Structure 1
């Protein structure tokens, strides 16, 4: 459990052409301000290690001097250009090797787009630049590099074909350091935070990998379901002899020896927040609605689907509405739909690892909703254990850096038989209506434009 927390809220700036950017200076200064706050309150003494958990997929274009030419471009930004590949390009082989698709999330699409606008000399992700600000050294971890879509997962080095698609050499990207690498606080900050002088600073861990480990899903026996703004279900496993990657799943790296395989979903905590606001719900928990109720079925495609599916945002659907349905019915149906989407990923992972996986739950959405925890448990039709620590990313980054295996520490919940039975009866109807929603949605010719 953390002894102290300091927060600085950062909100992307959005634009009509799909822009979503973060101000790099304000972001980094906000982070440094959090350290100042901890220093002022006496919390930067006795620190033995500094660890970082950070978002995957961000990119910043840099000039010859390492100065930023662009704001931070995070995963939610939808701008890109079509991938320029030959007819002999095998995306299935590329996906198996890199764990990524040719999607605008990744640098294989971002870099050509940026080069069409400006003339960068180099590129880095937000965590790389934060680490550089603290240590004076621009490097990246194998975990963060895997989220760029340019990493050969097996070797832990940049992939030649991915670099060719992006149109850059490895020299334009941050060097990849091993998991055991540590940096030191630069002299610039020695007076500012004297308690951190000489404390080793570990390379960042991608937030999804860190959240998995921090929740308690750190080996191939356990799937971690995390619910924040979006949601994901993932399994951490050795990179050596990793099972063949299905086309529907992505795979990134945790550290030098482990990978994380999973599926992500665009509608989760954002769906809950949107509905409670739109419906003006005083109680954000639909306790009066039975889990697995088939009266209303919600297909939670408000933010579309993640690759490789091709459903764009604005495709959410409610089926079976009647005049006696309430706001709570709509909220319950939406949370049930999101649960069934996560269950699709869990079942794929069950099949990949050859057995029903144990399940641990974590994240702000899990912590905030007892009804949703019960719904997920009934949908998965197996016990779930909730992580007792809400800051799963920070906890996981520390565990990766220090070689720890934290237990979830929270309560284990068994599925209620009647609820699990109702969900099982609902599932065929949900799948049939989901197929209708996919058919009715405008299918993108270029899946790389998906949110």
Structure 2
């Protein structure tokens, strides 16, 4: 039975911050004031580099725990849970010393895979839930081996867990984000490892969801309140966010909007529906998978445009623009597309501009374009699961913009529920580890008929312009 007393320590390993926060064990809600954050800044380069300093990241996270202890927040902790960014990788030498910084998903460096004539990319995708894309270890590892004399490889969450407990292990959820997991069996996929050029003993061992470790003696002395507290394996941030938002079964799609956006459905791994080529699939835990589509432009698009237009806080929502009414159409490809599409970054498009248009019109068009992108994924998931899915909305972008919440609801043409809790990743990691089923608990939105009709009229124009943008990106290189 899930615990209903005590408190939980959640570690959230993001790309822009590492955080530690304390949650109630009853419903995984945050304890007010019990949050510490270490800001993380990636280092970018002209050749596609995007790296995180591993030492700074880990020491910053440990400092967050020191801060919580100083505030008296590490007493009464019953479990330590973790959510983490997917897809990161670090190359290690034969003494387990890092040879590279952390390479997160935004880094574009990789090499083309060497494939046999009998390679079946659709069968590979159906089995692993991934494509042979630079996001995944199938292409990262051969590139790293061409750069350094690596003996083994691990992801950021694996190395954080090892630093805390001394155990080099990973979860089935984190392993699925590497693109090297056989989803049905929950073990490394032989063909994926052959393409990557590694044996399974050079990667972290996969442990079951119920596995727990304990803090090393170093950290038990540093944080006496955590002596003997079990440490659970990490959950991938997308899976954790889905569960934490309230989308934890096959009747509900969760739409999360942060820096990027995604729409996903959690469902049993047994008898899972056949995976369409356009969607990815990862694991939540030993029994569940998550299927969905991700989008590169969301909160980052809003932040970029409000900065470019120099909009003050009062004008960072297009409140004067009716949803679906703007003459301007925006295709939000500023950061490109996720696989299997291959639209590169720098492909954003605005069409229909006139001298009458304002910053609010441009902002409304951008948020509408992002909403239509998410809607494409939602409609595919409706078809996959044979029903019109219920929708829950969550994430920082959702929390920050009432206009965007209404726009998404009108674009989906169905009621939505807004998750009241902003900390969906930490909450979801706790729910996965301890078997909780959190309720979204927020406002319920109903679509406005006039807005739904305007978006429906806009959709074919948007789709036609989107096709032109995809074609132009290929032709212009």
Which TM-score applies when normalising by structure 1? 0.98
Q: Secondary structure at the match of 1:360?
A: strand
Residue by residue over 1:264-303, the C-alpha shift from the partner in whole angstroms, topping out at 9 and shown as x without a partner, is 0000000000000000112110000010014110000001
Q: Secondary structure at the match of 2:291?
A: strand
Q: Secondary structure at the match of 2:304?
A: helix
Matched, 1:2 2:30: yes
Question: What is the aligned partner in structure 2 of residue 339 from structure 1?
Answer: 371
Q: Give 1:102-117 correspondences, 5 Å limit.
A: 102-117=132-147
What are structure 2's unaligned runs of at least 5 residues? 1-28
1:135 to partner: Cα distance: 0.3
Q: Secondary structure at the match of 2:267?
A: strand
Matched, 1:200 2:230: yes
Aligned counterparts of 1:334 and 1:201: Cα–Cα separation in 2: 42
Matched, 1:96 2:120: no
Q: Secondary structure at the match of 1:50?
A: strand
Contact 2:138 2:196 in 1 (8 A): yes
Q: Secondary structure at the match of 1:420?
A: helix
Matched, 1:351 2:408: no
Aligned counterparts of 1:426 and 1:285: Cα–Cα separation in 2: 20
1:119 to partner: Cα distance: 1.4
Q: 1:166 aligns with which of 196, 216, 229?
A: 196
Question: What is the aligned partner in structure 2 of residue 448 from structure 1?
Answer: none
Q: 1:245 aligns with which of 275, 288, 296?
A: 275
Residue by residue over 1:342-376, the C-alpha shift from the partner in whole angstroms, topping out at 9 and shown as x without a partner, is 00000000000001000000000000000000000
Q: 2:156 aligns with which of 126, 131, 142?
A: 126
Q: Give 1:201-216 correspondences, 5 Å limit.
A: 201-216=231-246
Contact 1:312 1:444 in 2 (8 A): no
Matched, 1:272 2:302: yes
Question: What is the aligned partner in structure 1 of residue 332 from structure 2?
Answer: 300
Q: 1:292 to 1:74 in 2, by over 3 A?
A: same
Question: What is the aligned partner in structure 1 of residue 355 from structure 2?
Answer: 323
Aligned counterparts of 2:414 and 2:89: Cα–Cα separation in 1: 39
Which TM-score applies when normalising by structure 2? 0.93
Q: 2:60 aligns with which of 13, 19, 30?
A: 30
1:65 to partner: Cα distance: 1.2
Residue by residue over 1:54-99, the C-alpha shift from the partner in whole angstroms, topping out at 9 and shown as x without a partner, is 0000000011111111000000000011111112110100000000
What are structure 1's unaligned runs of at least 5 residues? 446-451
1:212 to partner: Cα distance: 0.1
Q: Give 1:228-243 correspondences, 5 Å limit.
A: 228-243=258-273
Q: 1:76 aligns with which of 89, 92, 106?
A: 106
Q: Give 1:406-421 correspondences, 5 Å limit.
A: 406-421=438-453
Aligned CA RMSD, in angstroms, stands at 0.8
Contact 1:59 1:74 in 2 (8 A): yes
Aligned counterparts of 1:224 and 1:2: Cα–Cα separation in 2: 20
Matched, 1:436 2:464: no
Aligned counterparts of 2:97 and 2:35: Cα–Cα separation in 1: 30
Q: Secondary structure at the match of 1:311?
A: coil
Aligned counterparts of 1:440 and 1:73: Cα–Cα separation in 2: 30
Q: 1:153 aligns with which of 171, 176, 183?
A: 183
Aligned counterparts of 1:21 and 1:301: Cα–Cα separation in 2: 23
Following TM superposition, the consecutive aligned residue runs of length 4 or more in structure 1 with deviations greater than 6 angstroms are none
1:439 to partner: Cα distance: 1.3
Q: 1:443 to 1:32 in 2, by over 3 A?
A: farther
Matched, 1:373 2:405: yes
Question: What is the aligned partner in structure 2 of residue 388 from structure 1?
Answer: 420
Aligned counterparts of 1:94 and 1:327: Cα–Cα separation in 2: 45
Contact 1:202 1:401 in 2 (8 A): yes
Q: 2:396 aligns with which of 364, 371, 393?
A: 364
Aligned counterparts of 2:475 and 2:165: Cα–Cα separation in 1: 46
Aligned counterparts of 1:323 and 1:169: Cα–Cα separation in 2: 60
Q: 1:400 to 1:36 in 2, by over 3 A?
A: same
Question: What is the aligned partner in structure 2 of residue 285 from structure 1?
Answer: 317
1:137 to partner: Cα distance: 0.6
Q: 1:259 aligns with which of 252, 267, 289?
A: 289
Aligned counterparts of 2:231 and 2:453: Cα–Cα separation in 1: 50
1:442 to partner: Cα distance: 3.0
Residue by residue over 1:108-147, the C-alpha shift from the partner in whole angstroms, topping out at 9 and shown as x without a partner, is 0000000111111100000000000000111000000000
